[in-house]
Structure formats: structure tokens, C-alpha cells
Amino acid sequence: MTQTQKKSINPFSQTHNQNQNPKTESSSSSSSRNGMKLIVPLQSVVQGRNGFLLGSLIPCALFYFFQLYLKRRRSNSNSNNNPSSPSSSSSPTLVLPRSSSRSNLSSRGSISRVRLSKLASILSKPDDSLYYIGLDRVLQDPYDVFVNPNGIIQLGLSDNKLCLDLIEKWLVKNLEGSVMGNSDMNLSINGIAPYQAFDGLNELKIALADFMHQVMGGSVEFDPSNMVLTSGATPAIEILSFCLADQGNAFLVPTPFYPGFDRDVRWRPGIDLIPVHCRSTDNFNLNITALEQAFSQARKRGVKVRGILISNPSNPVGNILTPEMLFSLLDFAEDKNIHIIADEVFAGSTYGSEEFVSIAEVLDSEYIDKSRVHIIYGLSKDLAIAGFRVGVIYSHNKTVLDAAKKMSRFATISAPTQRIVTSMLSDKRFIQEYIDTNRHRIRRVHDEFVDCLTKLGIKCAKSSAGMFCWADMSGLIKPYSEKGELELWEKFMSVAKINITPGSACHCIEPGWFRICFTTISFEEIPLVIERIRKVVKTCKSSS
Amino acid sequence: MSLENKNHQLLSKIATNDKHGENSPYFDGWKAYESNPFHPTKNPQGVIQMGLAENQLCFDLIEEWIRNNPKASICTPEGVNEFRNIANFQDYHGLPEFRNAVANFMSKVRGGRVRFDPDRIIMSGGATGANELIMFCLADPGDAFLVPSPYYPAFVRDLCWRTGVQLIPVQCHSSNNFKITREALEEAYMKAQEGNINVKGLIITNPSNPLGTTIEKETLKSIVSFINENNIHLVCDEIYSGTVFDTPKYVSVAEVIQEMEECKKDLIHIIYSLSKDMGLPGFRVGLVYSYNNEVVNCGRKMSSFGLVSSQTQHFLAAMLSDNKFVDKFLAESSRRLRERREFFTKGLEKVNITCLPSNAGLFFWMNLRSLLKEKTFEGEMKLWRLIINEVKLNVSPGSAFDCSEPGWYRVCFANMDHETVEIALMRIRAFVNGRDKGKNMEIKRWKSNLRLSFSSRRFDEKVMSPHMMSPHSPMPHSPLVRAT
């Protein structure tokens, strides 16, 4: 590989010139964050909302605040966990183990320090995304009704715990009298121990194609031979990124977007994400003009845009792209000669009035160059078995499929898991029942939760799918900026003891929005969570 | 067509180049096998797969354990009450009980002489994913790693394809049984530096793939001092450490660095997996064990790109913490491997084919130099094609391993039953004898004899409806299942 020369575009090299920046977990996310911070004031100048003075103050204040924050974090975490153990590493205490590693060095060694890759030195710095920081803090003090009733409640992870009982029941019923499953499950040693096709068992592909068909309302067929299976949607996105773009190229991504995209696309493939900002006034719907603008701006900077990455249903907003919008997107991609990656992992978790239409269906309906469209799917959301790590790349592009098949070697699903899932998915009656019940339960929790929030004066963006609501708390933040948002997040964390995801972690351009997942709790726990939120709302209001 | 072309340009270099290294005879041999796989009754003239290092000799032990421990799976009535806690678990650190069990197992495999800290284990999807992950941590595109040749052909894909790292072979020779020498290391390192290549480290396999030999303690020490002096990393791929079946005793780099006070530990990284030692490649468990805290930190974050399913982690945690089972398994497995290797090599000796002396691995390094018409790599390939097409055995030629001398072939011996080994031996003997006589008469004879040997077939039809088979086992084969 000789891409090293392209350093000027490579996101990794950028952060190297920014050593003074303390928050550089992934260079990439920080570089775009910096980008955002520049954009915010500039846009406010244009719109005349805040003035230039305030605009330039924001980054300075943020920088100061973050220093303060990290300092506090460090002293906090000194007390828990043994410092020499690298397992505490994922928390922002990472700074600690480094000193112990130095003690391993001989005197000669400390002169010439061991060099890791640029990527590693960026990643081993403390997380700067509140998404990950939040997840870590929950791990350190997780809520449990009996053991730790004052712990932090996890509302920052879109896990669906509403329907695990259904799967449990199915397992008990169907595996009765079996050892590792019954004989038609093929869980015999020869079915699980040896090497299997790395891109997934054909049986599972067939079952998944049916499942996707079922989940998407039966209106679109999926061809198992267009599939590559991976251990979760995370490697699926990474593999597609490796296939579609070179280091230093970029994808357009409508904001707010799923914080994991930074990790999946930027880290190892080295592809940049260019935010295309959507706004509350449009209920965060995408518009083509914004896309056009972002595209031509990137081109002016000499950045090659290779694709557009969308999540539909959208994570974190929960809205759905209309068929018309999908057509426009396809036109746009055709016109610019770029790819579309459609992350549809929430396709089956719909509860609202809008109907979900897969981009695959739109492709079917008209003569369009199918080879530029790639779909990501998985069972972590719609079947709620995130631990099983089942992800799908669905593409009509043969070259992409061939390369992805080879790459699936790095992320193959374990065979026993594939067998069990195949067998579960093949029970279509059970699956239909699951899908229906799941939708029903999500809707029930969603309606109740959003209703309670509204009563607290917190409005949510209109949504139809997903396991979260996108809540507008801009009225509670002061100042109206990312700083205010961070402060409110901290309050939720330390006062209300709930972990939610701030808009800044999703690259939202407007401060004060939060993603709250409601499927990690039961219907009965809603009042408890609402009560905790009320506490924070009260303090915010009384102080203003 | 033009559409296709246009799109081709739209893809990444990685997707469209052939740096995945799969255009090598190593993989061609697999394709030959896949298009005509041997089966004792359905396709007795088919190609026997001897190019895949799979350990199927102890499946019965694992099967028995599973039968006796239904609670280990969250997908049985006995274990389903754990389902709720496991189903959603996707933390990239891995289940704590799993990491503990694996650390314990790694220690057992090394005779209990070293302990492993579960907090230094980085989860990954198979050794394939682990090898790539460590490269992403240690090297930038364009950087290089030294690797003693002959080396595992898929290293090109695992270490280089997506990372942009390059490999620089360190030449080893048959004259000293392909041992890694300090001189060879120095020479390769110097050459790289002269070429302005930034060498980030050295990767070794111990036990060696393809040689099946273990590295002696003294050699290992000199390797460790070499990387220390040059301040470069050492990645030890020890995925075959549990297959050692003979003396000399296995020594892990983990033991050596315990003894070397001066050693910079944070240069050392171990790759491990359960695919070979436990014979469970389908479970896709691979890991990096690093003594470098920063690598542990950032490697962990990359675990999400190849995480083992929680169902499998949970299951293996139970199996690997059953100390009695593990001890029995390891002892029995190495006994069976030794027996199998001995049977095989003795059979080859009868037709004067020798192998490199070895004490580990699921393969041996066969010397066919005497059969080469011309002592070149071309001659090696010619003979290899003959072996694939006429003898119908898929062995892997040395050139696929970047071996510096022609005439060596890797032969895997643990992915088949005893009867298949006998057939393979018969074919080789017939081939060599037929060559000696300048005729292929014997080949015809064994073909007609074939059927006789199946009465004792160990595998029983009920175990294998076609679609549950390993694509590479000598058992019924389904066109549905294909490994690439």
C-alpha cells in the first residue's frame, strides 16, 4: 500500500498536528468535532443569531471545560479498579497504565520509546465521545433494582430487552430433550467445530433473506447469494468501507448520526465522514440541497466523496425516509457517481404511522444501477440478540461481494451461533409472532415514555421506528451551546443517574438534543426514569 | 459491461487489487479439492484435502463433554435461564468468565509454567482477525514486518491486505533444518534499512507453520534480544502450542521473557486461538495477548470488528474451566497427533520419502526434492500439479510458503480419518513406484482395491447429513457449504 503519501487528506495525520488538544480519542472524530465547532459559529454569523464574539468563545470555553472534565474524571477513577490492570482501560483512566508500562522498559528502552501505529496512539488516548464515556460510567455503577438501586440506568444503548422472554420460551420449547439442540438444528460436532464458509452458512443466508422479507412487510425479496454475513453490523460497515473507498476518501452522512459510524468508517479504513446537517425545523429530515452543498464543498477542498451513508430508519432520530426521498437519493448518487450505504438495522422495529420502505424495494421498482447500493442489516436490533453478532452485507455489486467475502474471514460468525439462529429464523410462525409482539411492545413503551416526557415539558422529534426518542432539551441548557449540552448531560449522569446520549456525540448541529433509549427498561420502570429526569428538569428551571 | 467497468473504478484499491494473496497455489489447491472432493463411497476417486490444518482427531472428546454438560449452552432447557444475561452482551472486553477461562487454558497448554492475566486478553475473530488487529496497532501503511520463511501463506492477507503493511522474508534453509538464525535476521533487517523501509517488528510462528517444529529456548532468547536491541516488536503466533506431541518440550515466548530481566516486555505480543489446539475453528475464537498496555487499550476498541458471539463465549467459558476435561483433552490430543504423524511418515519412508523432523502442528514438511525433474520452483509446481491432478492429493507446495528452496510440500494429517490416511498413502506409494517404473500401473491397482478398505469406516452416516459437514473433512460434502 502506498497511501501514506496522501497524508494531507488522511484524518490521522491531522490530529498529529494538534497535540495540544487533550481530547483525541479518535483523531477523526475530534477533527470533525473541531470542524463542527468552527461551523457552528460561522453559521450563526451567517444567520445572525449569536454573533461572532460568542462564536469564537464557544471553542475556547469548551476546551477549558473539557480539561476540567478530564481532570475530574481522572481523580474519580483513581479510586476504583486496580490501576495496574489494563482492563480498566476502556474508561478514561487509560492514562494510568501507561506509566506501569514504562516501568517495564529497560533503561535503554525509555530513551527510544516503543512505537505503535498512528492509529493506535490515537485510539489509546482517552475517549472523547460522551457516547463511550457514558457507557463506561454505567459499567462502573450499573443500576440494579436490588443490588444497586442508586446506580446509573442505562438509556444510552439501543438494546432491546422487551422481548427476550419470547425467545427464551421458544428455546425451551424447541430444545427440549436436546443436548446442544436437537438433531435438525445440526448442532452435532461436525456441524459446529470445523471450518465453515467464512461468509456465513448458506442455510443462514436463506433464513435471513426470508426474515428480512418478513420484517419489511413482505414487499421485497432478498437473494441469499447477494449476502455476506459478518459478526455484527459493525464489521459489516467496516468491510463495506474498506471495499468502497480508499484512505482519505470520504462519505457524506446526514446528521445527527449513530456515534459508532466514526469508529466503523474512520478508524481502520481511514475514510472521512462529512456531515450533512439536518435541522429540527425539518424534523431532521434529509434534503437534497444540503447534500449537494456538502458534496461540492468537499470537492472544492479536493476530497473525493465515494458514497453516502444513511441509516434508515434513522438512528438517533427514529424517522423514516420516504420512497420519494429514496428516489431522490438514488438520483443524486447516480448523478455524482457515488455509492449508497443504507443501514437498515431498525427496519423491523417500527411502531409509528409511517411505513418503512427498504431501498431494496425502490431498486426493484425501477431501472436503476443496482450495483451502487449496499444494505447493512443485522439481528441485534430487530431480533434483539446483539450478543450473537449476526450482521449482513447485502449488495448487487459482484466485485464488492467477492472482496467482502474474503474480508468476512476477519469477522465470521461462530458456527454454533449460526446453527441456532438458523433454526430460530426458520420457524416462521414464531418469527411473525415475535415481530408483531415486539412492535406492539415498543409502541407501548414509546407512547408512554414520550407522553411522560411531554408532561415534563420535553418534546421529542416525530418518530416511527427505533428504540429511542430524540428529545429536545434545548430549553434546559444554558448557555445554548455544546457546553450547555455537556453540562446538562453531566447533570443527568450524576444527579439523575441516567446515561443518555447527547446530540454532540451524534454530530447534531443544534445543541440540546438527546437520544434516550427506552427499550433497555421495562414498561414498569418508566415512572422511575421519568422521576429521575424530573429532578434535573426542576433544578434547571429553578436556576434560570 | 460498461456499467460494470465504471463501477470498478468506483471501488477501493483494496477491493480491486489482488493483495489478498489468494491467487496462490495454496488456495488453488483448495479449489481443486472443492471441485472434486474425495468421499469414501460417493467419490472415492476425488481429491483428498491435505492442505487444511484442521484438527479433527478429538471431536469425540468434545462431543462427550457437550453431552455431559447441557448447562453450558444458553440454548438448552438446562441453560436457558442464563439466556437473558447473555443474549444482549456485546461488550468488546468479552465475558469476564470467558477471558478467565482462556487465560487458564493458555497457561495449561504451556504446562503451567506461565500465568496469563485475563485483563491482557484482546478478543478477536479467529487468529486471522487477531493477526490483522495487532498489525493495525503496531504498524502504519508502508511499514514492514520481518517473517522467517517458509511462512503461512495467508499471512499476506491477514497481515497486509487491509493494513498496508509489507512482509520481508527472513531466509531459512534446509541445511540447518530451517532454524531461524541471528545472521539471517540481521541480514534481512539491514537490507530493509538500506532500502529505507521502516521495519516495525518480527512475526514468528511457534510451533512453526508449515514446519511443525518448535523453536528452541536459546533461539527464542536470541530472537528476543534481537528485537530488543533494535527496539522493534515481536509478534509470536502460538496457535499450535497445544499440538506439541513430542520432545523437545515446548517453550513459549512468555516463559523466555520471564527469565530475561532486561527484556522490554511491551514489545511482545502473543497470538492465540482455539482453532488448532481445541480443533474448534468453527467457533472463531482468536485473541491477542499483549504485554503492552497501550496495545491492550486500543486493541480492545478494535475487538468490535470481529467479536465472538456471547453464546459461544459463555459455552467455552464452561468447557475451558473444566480442568479435568482440559487436562485429559490436551494429553489425549497430543497422543493421537503423535500416533497419526508416525503412521503417516512411516508409510512415506517405505517409498523413501522423508520429512523434516518435527514435534508439533497438524502437518509435516515433506521433502520431495528427489522427485523433482528440475530443481527449480517451476519443477516444484509441475510436480505439484501432477500430485493434485493425478495422485489427487491437495498438498501445498513450498513456493506458496515463500520457501527459499524448491521441493518441499506441506502435508496436513489431522483433518481426516484413519482410512483416508491409508488411501492417501496408497496413492503416494503407487505414484512413486509407478514413477520409478515409468508407468502408472499401480495407480490402477489401488483404484480397484479401494472399496475394500471401507468396511471399517469410522464415520457413520447418521452423523452427517450433507449440509453439516466441514467442507474440508473427508466426509460427505454439500455443494451448499463452501469455504473460500
For the segment A103-159, what is each residue's pLDDT rounded down to a tens digit?
333 333 344 566 899 999 888 877 788 998 998 899 899 999 999 999 999 999 988
DSSP state of A92: T
Chain B, 132 to 161: residues with Cβ < 8 Å from chain A are 132, 136-143, 157-158, 160
Q: For residue B109, what pLDDT band results from cuts at 50, 70 and 90? A: very high
Q: Does B110 touch chain A (CB under 8 A)?
A: no
How many residues make up chain B in this entry?
A: 484
Q: How many whole angstroms separate alpha carbon A295 and alpha carbon A291?
A: 6
Q: Does B480 touch chain A (CB under 8 A)?
A: yes
pLDDT value of residue A177:
45
- For an interface test with B, the pick among A10, A29, A238, A414 (most B C-beta atoms closer than 10 Å) comes out as A414
**Cβ-contact B352, B433 below 8 angstroms:** no
For A486-497, give one letter per residue: b (16+ CB within 10 A) or e: bbbbebbbeebb
Cell numbers that stand for A78 in this block: 483513581
| Span of A184-198, B224-238, B459-473 with lowest mean pLDDT | B459-473
Who's near B192: CB < 8 A, 6+ residues apart?
B144, B146, B168, B199
For the segment B10-53, what is each residue's pLDDT rounded down to a tens digit?
899 999 988 888 888 888 888 889 999 999 999 999 999 999 99
Report the residue of chain B nearest A249, measured CA to CA: B12
Active-site residues of B, by number, are 152, 237, 239, 276
Who's near B479: CB < 8 A, 6+ residues apart?
none
Q: Which residue has the higher pLDDT, A89 or A177?
A: A177
pLDDT value of residue B285:
95
Q: Measured between beta carbons, which residues in chain B are less than 8 angstroms from residue A15?
A: none
- Pairing state between β B396-397 and B408-412: antiparallel
Who's near B318: CB < 8 A, 6+ residues apart?
B69, B71, B72, B101
For the segment B393-439, what is each residue's pLDDT rounded down to a tens digit?
999 999 999 999 999 999 999 999 999 999 999 999 999 988 876 54
- For an interface test with B, the pick among A410, A418, A438, A520 (most B C-beta atoms closer than 10 Å) comes out as A410
Chain A, 288 to 307: residues with Cβ < 8 Å from chain B are 306
Average pLDDT over residues A483-491: 96
Query: What sign does the dihedral B478-B479-B481-B484 (CA atoms) show?
Result: positive
pLDDT value of residue A95:
32
Closest by CA to B240, choosing from B328, B362, B403, is B362
Amino acid at A505: A
Q: Measured between beta carbons, which residues in chain A are less than 8 angstroms from residue B63?
A: 188-189
DSSP letters spanning A34-78: HHHHHHHHHHHHHHTSS-HHHHHHHHHHHHHHHHHHHHHHHHHHH
Q: Does B417 touch chain A (CB under 8 A)?
A: no
pLDDT value of residue A313:
96
Average pLDDT over residues A147-175: 89
Q: Measured between beta carbons, which residues in chain A are less than 8 angstroms from residue B88?
A: 159, 161, 164, 384-387
| Span of A431-435, A489-493, B443-447 with lowest mean pLDDT | B443-447
Q: How far apart are the CA of A319 and the nearest CA of chain B, in angstroms?
A: 24
Contacts 24+ apart (CB under 8 A), B402-406: B402/B149, B402/B150, B402/B151, B402/B153, B402/B169, B403/B149, B403/B150, B404/B149, B404/B150, B404/B169, B404/B171, B404/B172, B404/B173, B405/B173, B405/B174, B405/B369, B406/B369, B406/B372, B406/B375, B406/B376, B406/B377, B406/B379, B406/B380
Q: How many whole angstroms separate alpha carbon A459 and alpha carbon B393?
A: 69
For A197-208, give one letter per residue: b (16+ CB within 10 A) or e: bbbbbbbbbbbb
Average pLDDT over residues B145-174: 97
Q: Which residue has the higher pLDDT, B35 or A34?
A: B35
Q: Does A129 touch chain B (CB under 8 A)?
A: no
Cell numbers that stand for B437 in this block: 517404473
For the segment B308-358, what is each residue's pLDDT rounded down to a tens digit?
999 899 999 999 999 999 999 999 999 999 999 999 999 999 999 999 999
Please provide residue B462's backbone torsions phi and psi, each rounded to the nearest 5 degrees: -65, -25
Chain B, 56 to 75: residues with Cβ < 8 Å from chain A are 56, 59, 62-63, 66-67, 70, 73-75
Q: Give me the residue label for grid cell 455476506.
A: A228
Q: Does B460 touch chain A (CB under 8 A)?
A: no
For the segment A351-365, what is each residue's pLDDT rounded down to a tens digit?
988 899 999 999 887
pLDDT value of residue B348:
96
- For an interface test with B, the pick among A16, A190, A434, A522 (most B C-beta atoms closer than 10 Å) comes out as A190
Q: How many CB pairs under 8 A join A and B?
A: 367
Q: How far apart are the CA of A286 and the nearest CA of chain B, in angstroms?
A: 24
Instruction: Say if the Cβ atoms of A195 and B472 lie within 8 Å.
Output: yes
Cell numbers that stand for B155 in this block: 499471512
Q: Which residue has the higher pLDDT, A304 or A217?
A: A304
Q: How far apart are the CA of A494 and the nearest CA of chain B, in angstroms?
A: 23
Q: How many whole angstroms separate alpha carbon B275 and alpha carbon B154?
A: 15
Helices (H), B110-144: 126-138
Q: How far apart are the CA of B481 and the nearest CA of chain A, in angstroms?
A: 6
pLDDT greater than 90 at residue A30: no
Average pLDDT over residues A438-456: 96
pLDDT value of residue A65:
57
pLDDT value of residue A59:
53
Q: How far apart are the CA of B241 and the nearest CA of chain A, in angstroms?
A: 19
pTM of the model as a whole: 0.84
pLDDT greater than 60 at residue A81: no
Instruction: Say if the Cβ atoms of A195 and B292 lie within 8 Å.
Output: no
For the segment A248-270, what is each residue's pLDDT rounded down to a tens digit?
999 999 999 999 999 999 999 99
Q: How many whole angstroms separate alpha carbon B143 and alpha carbon A3?
A: 12
Report the residue of chain B nearest A13, measured CA to CA: B140
Instruction: Say if the Cβ atoms of B283 and A414 lie within 8 Å.
Output: yes
Q: Does A176 touch chain B (CB under 8 A)?
A: yes
- The rounded mean pLDDT for chain A is 82
- The rounded mean pLDDT for chain B is 88
Report the residue of chain B nearest A123, measured CA to CA: B298
Q: Does B39 touch chain A (CB under 8 A)?
A: no
DSSP letters spanning A285-353: ---HHHHHHHHHHHHHTTPPEEEEEEESS-TTT-----HHHHHHHHHHHHHHT-EEEEE-TTTT-B-SS
Q: Does B281 touch chain A (CB under 8 A)?
A: yes
Report the residue of chain A nearest B159, measured CA to CA: A410
Q: How far apart are the CA of B127 and the nearest CA of chain A, in angstroms?
A: 9
Q: How many whole angstroms separate alpha carbon B41 and alpha carbon B299?
A: 48
Average pLDDT over residues A314-323: 96
Share of chain A above pLDDT 70, in %: 76
Q: For residue B118, what pLDDT band results from cuts at 50, 70 and 90? A: very high
For B247, counting Cβ atoms within 10 Å of its Cβ (0-12 exposed, 13-18 middle, 19+ buried), the class is exposed
Q: Does B31 touch chain A (CB under 8 A)?
A: no
Q: Measured between beta carbons, which residues in chain A are less than 8 angstroms from residue B142?
A: 1-2, 4
pLDDT greater than 50 at residue A377: yes
Report the residue of chain B nearest A107, measured CA to CA: B262
**Cβ-contact A292, A333 below 8 angstroms:** no
Q: For residue A57, what pLDDT band results from cuts at 50, 70 and 90? A: low
**Cβ-contact A467, A516 below 8 angstroms:** no
pLDDT greater than 50 at residue B450: no
pLDDT greater than 80 at residue A496: yes
Q: How far apart are the CA of A49 and the nearest CA of chain B, in angstroms?
A: 40
Q: For residue A417, what pLDDT band results from cuts at 50, 70 and 90? A: very high
For the segment B124-136, what is each residue's pLDDT rounded down to a tens digit?
999 999 999 999 9
pLDDT value of residue A188:
75
Q: Does A164 touch chain B (CB under 8 A)?
A: yes
ipTM exceeds 0.90, yes or no:
no
Cα B251 to the center of its chain, rounded Å: 18
Q: How many whole angstroms separate alpha carbon B413 and alpha carbon B56?
A: 10
SS (H, E, C) A372-407: HEEEEEECCCCCCCHHHCCEEEEECCHHHHHHHHHH
| Span of A233-237, A341-345, A535-539, B198-202 with lowest mean pLDDT | A535-539
